[in-house]
C-alpha cells in the first residue's frame, strides 16, 4: 500500500531554484515520486510513496518556514501512482497564461465543505462553476454545475465574456484540490466581479469527498493526474456513471490511451470496444499497431498512460 499527497501553497518564494534543489535532495532520499512545481508565487505538488516516506516529507514541510501550515490531502493508493520524480521551476505553479492579470492578494473568498454542502442541501441560489479541463468533467462533476466553454483550464483568460451572465449572482468555483480556483477567483475580481459574491470551494473535490463522498452532490469519478486515472467519490451501489464510450456510446467511465504510440489519445472506452479495437481509438490506429514497432508499451497495473495537460 502506498500514500499520495496532493497539496499547494500560495506563498512568495524568493529563490525558487534553490528550493527546487533542496526538494530534489529530500524527495530522492525518501524515494518519493511525482510532480512538484515551484515558482516565485508558491508550490504545487502531487507525490506518492510509502507511508513512512510521506510522513517524513510532511514533517520536513511542516518544519520549513515557507511551507509550514499546508493543507495536505493524503490518501491510500494500491499502486505507486507515479513512474518517476519531476521537480521543476516554472513561471506559474498552475498554468493560466495570464500571470500578469493575477493579483494573489485580491482573490475571492473560501467556502468550507460543510457550508457548501449545506448550501447544496438547501437549494441555495448560486452558480457552481467547474474550473477543470473538459476530460475531467466528462467522468464526474457536481450536480447542476456549469461547464465553461473551454477544453483546458488555461483558456479561462479568453472566455471571461462568457461569465458576464453570472456577474450579479453568487458564484462558487471548484476544482480537484483547490489550486486552479486560486488564480480563477483573482481573474474574476480583476474583471469586475464583486469579491463578496465570488467563492472557492476550499480543498476542492478531494476535501469534500473525504466527508461527503457517499452522501454528497458530486456525481461520477474524480480524474487524477497519476496512474490511478480516476477515483470513485461515491462508493455505494447508487453511484452515478457519467461517461460514455467514444466508440459506441455505452455508459462507462474508463479512460484509456490509444495503443498506437504515435497517437496515444486519451479517451473513454468500454471493455467490449477495447477488445474489438485492440485498445486503439480508431481503425487507422488499429491498422498501424499491426506492426508491433508502433505499439505503446503499457505500464504495469494500469489501463492507460495518460497525458498530463
| Helix, strand, coil % in the chain, rounded to nearest 5 | 30, 25, 45
The domain over range 99-220 is classified in CATH as 3.40.250.10:
yes
pLDDT-derived band at 299, boundaries 50, 70, 90: low
pLDDT digit string (tens) for 73-111? 999 999 999 999 999 999 999 999 999 999 999 999 999
Q: Which residue has the higher pLDDT, 299 or 52?
A: 52
Residue 301 has pLDDT above 80, yes or no: no
C-alpha cell at 8: 499547494
* Alpha-carbon gap, residue 218 to 124, rounded angstroms: 16
* Kind of pairing between the strands at 255-257 and 140-142: unpaired
Show the DSSP H helices in the chain as ranges.
16-29, 51-62, 113-122, 134-137, 181-190, 204-212, 271-276, 283-288
Segment 42-55 shows an average pLDDT of 97
Residue 118 has pLDDT above 80, yes or no: yes
C-alpha cell at 298: 503499457
Segment 192-199 shows an average pLDDT of 97
Which CATH class name applies to 2-89? alpha beta
Where b means 16+ CB within 10 Å and e means fewer, 65-76 reads eebeebeebebe
pLDDT-derived band at 306, boundaries 50, 70, 90: very low
Enzyme catalytic residues: 175
pLDDT-derived band at 298, boundaries 50, 70, 90: low
Residue 272 has pLDDT above 60, yes or no: yes
* Alpha-carbon gap, residue 183 to 115, rounded angstroms: 22
Segment 219-229 shows an average pLDDT of 93
Lowest-confidence region among 51-65, 128-142, 180-194, 293-307: 293-307
Sketch the domain layout of the chain as residue ranges: 2-89, 99-220, 243-309
Residue 151, Cβ neighbours under 10 Å: how many? 11
pLDDT-derived band at 239, boundaries 50, 70, 90: very high
Q: Do 81 and 226 contact (CB within 8 A), yes or no?
A: yes
Residue 158 has pLDDT above 60, yes or no: yes
Amino acid at each position: 500500500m502506498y500514500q499520495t499527497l496532493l497539496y499547494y501553497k500560495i506563498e512568495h518564494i524568493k529563490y525558487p531554484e534553490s528550493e527546487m534543489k533542496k526538494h530534489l535532495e529530500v524527495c530522492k532520499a525518501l524515494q518519493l515520486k511525482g510532480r512538484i512545481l515551484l515558482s516565485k508565487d508558491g508550490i504545487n505538488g502531487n507525490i506518492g510513496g510509502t507511508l513512512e516516506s510521506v510522513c517524513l516529507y510532511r514533517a520536513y514541510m511542516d518544519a520549513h518556514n515557507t511551507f509550514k501550515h499546508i493543507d495536505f490531502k493524503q490518501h491510500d493508493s494500491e499502486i505507486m501512482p507515479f513512474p518517476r520524480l519531476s521537480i521543476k521551476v516554472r513561471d506559474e505553479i498552475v498554468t493560466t497564461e495570464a500571470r500578469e492579470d493575477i493579483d494573489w492578494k485580491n482573490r475571492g473568498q473560501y467556502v468550507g465543505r460543510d457550508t457548501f454542502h449545506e448550501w447544496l442541501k438547501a437549494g441555495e441560489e448560486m452558480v457552481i462553476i467547474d474550473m477543470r479541463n473538459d476530460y475531467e468533467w466528462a467522468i464526474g462533476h457536481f450536480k447542476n454545475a456549469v461547464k465553461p466553454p473551454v477544453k483546458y483550464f488555461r483558456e479561462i483568460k479568453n472566455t471571461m465574456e462568457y461569465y458576464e451572465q453570472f456577474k450579479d449572482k453568487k458564484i462558487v468555483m471548484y476544482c480537484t484540490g483547490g489550486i486552479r480556483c486560486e488564480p480563477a477567483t483573482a481573474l474574476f475580481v480583476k474583471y469586475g466581479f464583486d469579491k463578496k459574491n465570488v467563492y472557492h470551494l476550499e480543498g476542492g473535490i478531494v476535501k469534500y469527498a473525504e466527508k461527503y463522498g457517499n452522501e454528497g452532490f458530486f456525481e461520477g469519478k474524480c480524474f487524477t493526474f497519476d496512474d490511478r486515472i480516476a477515483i470513485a467519490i461515491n462508493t455505494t451501489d447508487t453511484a452515478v456513471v457519467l461517461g460514455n464510450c467514444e466508440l459506441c456510446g455505452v455508459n462507462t467511465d474508463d479512460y484509456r490511451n490509444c495503443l498506437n504510440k504515435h497517437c496515444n489519445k486519451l479517451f473513454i472506452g468500454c471493455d467490449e470496444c477495447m477488445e474489438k479495437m485492440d485498445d486503439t481509438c480508431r481503425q487507422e490506429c488499429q491498422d498501424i499497431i499491426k506492426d508491433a514497432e508502433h505499439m505503446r508499451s503499457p505500464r504495469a497495473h494500469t489501463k492507460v498512460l495518460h497525458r498530463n495537460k
